[in-house]
Amino acid sequence: MQQRQGPEMSRSVAAPAMVVLLSAIAGAWLLQRGIDRSDNMYVQVRVLQEVVDRVESSFVEEVDGESLFDTAIDAIIGQLGDPNTSFIQASEYENLRIRTEGEYGGVGLEVTDGHEYVTVVGAIPGGPGERVGIRAGDRFFEIDGVAADTMLTDQAVALLRGRPGTDVRIKMLRPGLETPIEFTIQRAVIRLMAVPFSLMLDETVGYVPLSTVQETSSAEVSAALDSLQGLGMTGLVFDLRRNPGGLLDEGIAVTDLFLDPGQAIVETRGRARGQNGTYDASRPDRYPGLPIVVLVDGGSASAAEIIAGALQDHDRAVVLGETTYGKGSVQSLFPLTGGDVLRLTTARWYTPLGRSIHLDRTEAPEPDGQPLLALSGQALERADLEGRPEYRTPSGRLVYGGGGIPPDLYVAPLTLTPAEVRGAQRIFMSAGAFSQAIFNGSVSYLQAHPNLQEGFSLSDADLDVLFAEFSEWEAEVSREDFDLAERYVRYHLEREIALQAWGDAGQFQQSRRYDTQLMRALELLAVARTPADLLELVGVAGAGTP
């Protein structure tokens, strides 16, 4: 049966017809002006608006127009393939700003958007996350019961932060394990010293660890070095391992301590105005002639990589350890209508020789073996350097580009044997109980040994006590598994005892005999008297050679 068209239907047909006619006229005018739709952003935005309006009004099921735009924005950002670019809604940004500018409780983890899951870049030394056993490379599977497989970094951070003293329960995916590990972390106020301690490793070699690059980093580094020089330091181990980076200005200022005026530190390259530039040293080398070995690993990122790359490019230091993380990009915040914020990668960092620090990855880095030291460095063998861009420093030394800072000398951390890994994996599955047992065991040990001295060793009987403590926490770990992981267990219990007894410096001194990278650095500095001596030793060993 034919329906008669009334006035309302006539108008409903006429309106779209008028839109089509106007669109055709506008389109013809644009084409006459030599502008097609692909080159005209206004037309594209208008088409997007029309699609959303039509779907919202006419789709067979009810649709939320706002969610359609959110999906479109997510798709645009996802198309960039950049884990550091994100859209931050106004409510999230305001909460983040309040937490960032005020005192807040956190878990002490540096995280980034990884392949499928938000990934830990590094755990702040002594922070709540490190104390329970979380390490670089771990990926968030669940946070307080919320699945994390679709989370971006800002969303994960918002859940991890909270009032100091409160707990957050998380499940982590760890390379090599099939099921997630559960942790309970008590939030704490995160206040960091950039240089937690400094000391002399022997009569002539000083040691300065830089744990983060913050507002006071350059002042703390220079104060530590001045103090060590007063103690007779003639060689330096500068430790940037597990340093997640931080402020660009302070990374430049730290590097400036060791270079001469006019020497380039880092270059930024981007498309937008103001994103291209080179930052140079402005003051004379404060420690001329001091041979320096810089320690790096897969947790060294961002501003820490700027420091290592510049000192390597200028032949000012030898870089030793593992290839750094490869976080070589600059993010800018752009306020949007309604209070939303776009965090957009606007430039990339390059070393003085032009090496890109940025490393594209399609999946989370896998560690080479199970490190005893609970560090998850990206082990880079010499074979992996094949095909990377090659550069020559002023001395003619060969260095490599392609992302991250490959070391001059690759030295792997001390790792567990396959048999030890099998035992340790069972302990990993009860990581929360293990951490609690380690803490309680260290307290009991110190009470029983009030006159304990640095350099102590635990007996088998001491580990028996710990196993009993471990079992009380209902951890499903057999004695066989515990014995297989004896070396791993002993290492972590000794570290916790030393930390509680003597602080960060004492913990470092107690565990340094396990540190293969530190020992190799000491071997070099025992021979080298000048920076040129170090370069010659590297030339003999061969750059990048394990």
Q: In this structure, what token pair is assigned to residue 517?
A: 């990278």
SS3 state of residue 531:
helix
Q: What is the pLDDT along the chain (546 residues), one digit of tens a residue?
A: 444 444 444 433 444 444 343 444 444 444 444 455 455 777 888 888 888 888 888 888 998 888 888 888 889 998 998 888 888 888 777 655 544 444 467 898 878 776 678 888 667 777 899 888 887 678 899 999 999 988 888 788 889 988 888 999 999 988 767 889 899 999 998 777 899 999 999 999 999 999 989 889 999 999 999 999 999 999 999 999 999 888 889 999 999 999 999 999 999 999 988 889 999 999 999 999 999 999 999 889 999 999 999 999 999 999 999 999 999 988 888 999 888 899 899 999 999 999 999 987 655 444 444 454 443 333 334 447 888 999 999 999 999 999 999 999 999 888 888 888 888 887 877 766 777 678 778 878 988 999 999 899 999 999 998 888 777 666 677 889 889 999 989 998 998 899 888 988 999 999 999 999 999 999 999 999 999 999 999 885 444 443
Residues carrying CATH 3.90.226.10, the chain? 199-328+346-414
Is 74 catalytic? The answer is no
- How many C-beta neighbours within 10 Å does residue 417 have? 13
Beta bridge partners of 390: 400
Residues carrying CATH 2.30.42.10, the chain? 87-189
- CA–CA separation, 498 vs 74, rounded Å? 48
Q: Which of 198, 327, 430, 462 is catalytic?
A: 327
pLDDT digits (tens, 9 = 90+) for 163-195: 888 999 999 988 767 889 899 999 998 777 899
The DSSP letter of residue 203 is S
pLDDT score recorded for residue 432: 64
Mean confidence (pLDDT) of the chain: 83
First to last CA, the chain: 85
Q: In this structure, what token pair is assigned to residue 535?
A: 């370069």
Q: Measure the CA angle with vertex 219, ends 218 and 221; round to 5°.
A: 65
87-189: CATH superfamily: PDZ domain (2.30.42.10)
- CA–CA separation, 236 vs 139, rounded Å? 34
Length of the chain: 546
Q: Which of 86, 217, 300, 302 is catalytic?
A: 302
Residue 71 φ/ψ, nearest 5 degrees: -65, -40
Q: Which of 154, 313, 315, 462 is catalytic?
A: 313
If phi over 0 gives left and psi between -120 and 50 gives alpha, with beta otherwise, what is residue 80? alpha
Q: Measure the CA angle with vertex 269, ends 267 and 275; round to 5°.
A: 100
pLDDT score recorded for residue 475: 67
Residues with Cβ within 8 Å of residue 150, at least 6 apart in sequence = none
pLDDT digits (tens, 9 = 90+) for 40-90: 777 888 888 888 888 888 888 998 888 888 888 889 998 998 888 888 888
* Burial class of 478 by CB neighbour count within 10 A (0 to 12, 13 to 18, 19+): exposed
Could you please state the CATH topology (level 3) that the domain comprising 199-328+346-414 is classified under. 2-enoyl-CoA Hydratase; Chain A, domain 1 (3.90.226)
